[in-house]
Structure 1
């Protein structure tokens, strides 16, 4: 029998069924009995940066959270066509504003929050809203780069991963967008949801395990496998320098992802919702300076409450906001040479669509083409409220410069205005990214 070379053995190891290797990382779940594990191999760190880092964390509440029951509280007696789902006395008083009863622990952060109401999506389809959030553009196509990738490439600091996407929920096969002709995607071409490096729900779920460090053990052959991958890349892509550079960058980011997963603590204090472990992992990514832009996404359509809206939103939304509040507490307590992590991080909380103002026949709320956004952290005007909704739950036109709803050049609060403002905050030029002139919402900027 011919003897296999070490190269052939390593290549075979990479394809062993059930080893659960992470792409470009060569990792397996901690505790796997068939592969000897060692301590984490050294990964080349980027040179230290003297620039103050700027992190972004985008939290996507998939399915459409009910803003009336959280951040856009109404008086039931004067709510017009809006079914609030609560009595006036059940509203909660923050330090600045009234909130709905499902705001949870986020109430204690009222002073830091910037609330934006009546954000116009112009869609009631999950797939279209997801694609808009992914692309950062109302009008987009298959070639539009993910918004997280764009901002991650602009943000200052030395974190090696531009965009880390953390999908929470229940393990399932990856689901691309339906290839349907949708508004903003007239060609009907499938568009990936995430962008960046992705961490799947099965990995995120490991954070609820026993207290120990390291979600993954590192196989003893990890370094040699990485060397093999580099050699093969140079062999096959040597004549195409741009493709080789992109491939090498992907491998390097995979090594840094391995470092993050090998050092993150399995134990998490953020429990009670499927989003909690993902937020804990996002905290590790920021604290360890692993990623500049982090997307944490709840399970798909988790808040899509077409039946029994009050009961389902109560069971799912309040625990999520409790976990977000705990995440903010972690960022506030942790410090580095530049101050608290919260001072260096911009947090964006949004859904891909809103909830209809009236209950349907089964006491649920259907889809609505507008919703509220929650912003806070670096560069955001703390305690501000921008925009409002009327008695029909329609967003009121505002002046983008002054925020006035009665004076100036008032227009609908388009979702692209938020994307353009966040791009500006990250150091980008909205005009160069096709947002048009005068798209900045000055009222949300500190």
Structure 2
């Protein structure tokens, strides 16, 4: 799909006069999109993003923001261990991370006001506080538009799935969901990449020729439908993916060297990170891995004992794979969930939603490693007296790393102008 340029307000005013000639504002915007060229990016420190989404809300106090001196009723059951970074203690179940902590940068004291999962996920995925009147596009959708990928590979892949969406941009910019993850020792197939049994490339080409004839037949019909645009986009992409050796190779994890594959555990999260790194190597600019299960209202410590070791293994193996492939310096890795969890342990030995405090790990993509930015109080119940960090700031910084202006104006399908992240602060200290 051709890219839509940033239209000036003067052009929008002109469109008001065009209405009298039978051309609506949406039609004007669509016409402008058809005539535009690919977006011009500013200087960037990254070409791709790997976002590891800890869905459900990981407990900050039981992972990377341990408080050994906090009141007994908030400390929890886990012991802390010292990392290779002075002053940085983490959970005892993160020994691999502890050895390489100086290759990451930790942001603490991230805070917002959305205490429910859908709203929290929406905020971290878009960099905008959720509002009823407008559904903002997620990071991957914007990056797909701003950094066009090869026609035979999606620009935005979700492993195995995600609730993040394209918002007002329309489903043409929605993520491609694998709906499955690799399993060691077993062939890995993703629907939409592999040819179903009995279907040959010759038959696929015949069907595509028929679709092309239908497209020409109805090309003169006028439509403003984002759904039809999406169907056209998906149909074209599906054809290129199925007929592309490169696309099939990108998802064929068995082609990877056994030595490298053995770095990753057999659990779903580690295997998902492995696939995500491989897709980035093949040119996919945005990959998100969703790691579910962190919503530990009951049995918080039993749940985190199960969840933390795969996180420890998967994120450190992913770092090593990106380094060995020569991709780390240009791949921004972001690790976080939608919020933290309450310092107070409830009667069910669990911790509840706590958007007041959260953490985020970053590495690669021009980020200066070995930093700890922001902080929390001794009780871990609020950001400290340093500058508070918001999800808006995280999103603005991600866009900045990719050379995308976070204040760039987009237009909804009704012609409403809106900035990507109007309230975000680019965290230049990350790249110092």
Residue 33 of structure 2: aligned partner: none
**Structure 1 pair 261/104, CA: closer, same or farther in 2 (3 Å)?**
farther
Work out whether residues 208 and 277 of structure 1, in 8 Å CA contact, stay in contact via their aligned partners in 2: yes
CA offset at residue 158 of structure 1? 5.5
- How many residue pairs match? The answer is 355
Q: Which runs of 5+ in 1 are unaligned?
A: 1-50, 169-173, 178-188, 335-339, 399-404
**Structure 1 pair 198/110, CA: closer, same or farther in 2 (3 Å)?**
same
Q: Which moved more, 1:267-276 or 1:126-135?
A: 267-276
C-alpha RMSD of the superposition: 3.4
What TM-score results when the alignment is normalised by the length of structure 1? 0.70
Work out whether residues 111 and 382 of structure 1, in 8 Å CA contact, stay in contact via their aligned partners in 2: yes
Work out whether residues 306 and 365 of structure 1, in 8 Å CA contact, stay in contact via their aligned partners in 2: yes
What TM-score results when the alignment is normalised by the length of structure 2? 0.72
Work out whether residues 272 and 323 of structure 1, in 8 Å CA contact, stay in contact via their aligned partners in 2: no
CA offset at residue 246 of structure 1? 6.0
Q: Which moved more, 1:117-126 or 1:254-263?
A: 254-263
CA offset at residue 420 of structure 1? 1.3
Residues 63-111 of structure 1 show CA distances to partners (whole Å, capped at 9, x for unaligned) of: 1112222211222x34576324224xx4232244322223242233312
CA offset at residue 378 of structure 1? 0.9
Work out whether residues 158 and 177 of structure 2, in 8 Å CA contact, stay in contact via their aligned partners in 1: yes
In the alignment, structure 1 residue 346 sits paired with structure 2 residue 332: yes
Which of the numbers 143, 151, 157 marks the counterpart of 1:151? Answer: 143
Following the alignment from structure 2 to structure 1, what is the Cα–Cα distance between the partners of residues 89 and 350? 24
Residue 235 of structure 2: aligned partner: 251
In the alignment, structure 1 residue 228 sits paired with structure 2 residue 219: no
In the alignment, structure 1 residue 161 sits paired with structure 2 residue 161: no
Residue 279 of structure 2: aligned partner: 285
In the alignment, structure 1 residue 374 sits paired with structure 2 residue 361: yes
Residue 34 of structure 1: aligned partner: none
Residue 55 of structure 1: aligned partner: 48
Secondary structure at 1:164 match in 2: strand
Work out whether residues 142 and 191 of structure 1, in 8 Å CA contact, stay in contact via their aligned partners in 2: no
Q: Which runs of 5+ in 2 are unaligned?
A: 1-43, 255-260, 409-418
Residue 257 of structure 2: aligned partner: none
In the alignment, structure 1 residue 262 sits paired with structure 2 residue 248: yes
CA offset at residue 426 of structure 1? 1.6
1:78-117 alignment runs, 5 A limit: 78=70, 82-87=74-79, 90-96=80-86, 97-117=88-108
Q: Which moved more, 1:315-324 or 1:111-120?
A: 315-324
Bigger helix fraction: 2
Residue 176 of structure 2: aligned partner: 198
CA offset at residue 435 of structure 1? 3.3
Following the alignment from structure 1 to structure 2, what is the Cα–Cα distance between the partners of residues 366 and 192? 34
Secondary structure at 2:158 match in 1: strand
Work out whether residues 167 and 198 of structure 1, in 8 Å CA contact, stay in contact via their aligned partners in 2: no
Work out whether residues 137 and 169 of structure 2, in 8 Å CA contact, stay in contact via their aligned partners in 1: no
**Structure 1 pair 53/136, CA: closer, same or farther in 2 (3 Å)?**
closer
**Structure 1 pair 145/438, CA: closer, same or farther in 2 (3 Å)?**
closer
Work out whether residues 395 and 413 of structure 1, in 8 Å CA contact, stay in contact via their aligned partners in 2: no
**Structure 1 pair 165/382, CA: closer, same or farther in 2 (3 Å)?**
same
**Structure 1 pair 282/245, CA: closer, same or farther in 2 (3 Å)?**
same
Following the alignment from structure 1 to structure 2, what is the Cα–Cα distance between the partners of residues 392 and 52? 36
Which of the numbers 391, 395, 400 marks the counterpart of 1:415? Answer: 391
CA offset at residue 209 of structure 1? 5.4
Residues 27-61 of structure 1 show CA distances to partners (whole Å, capped at 9, x for unaligned) of: xxxxxxxxxxxxxxxxxxxxxxxx99711111101
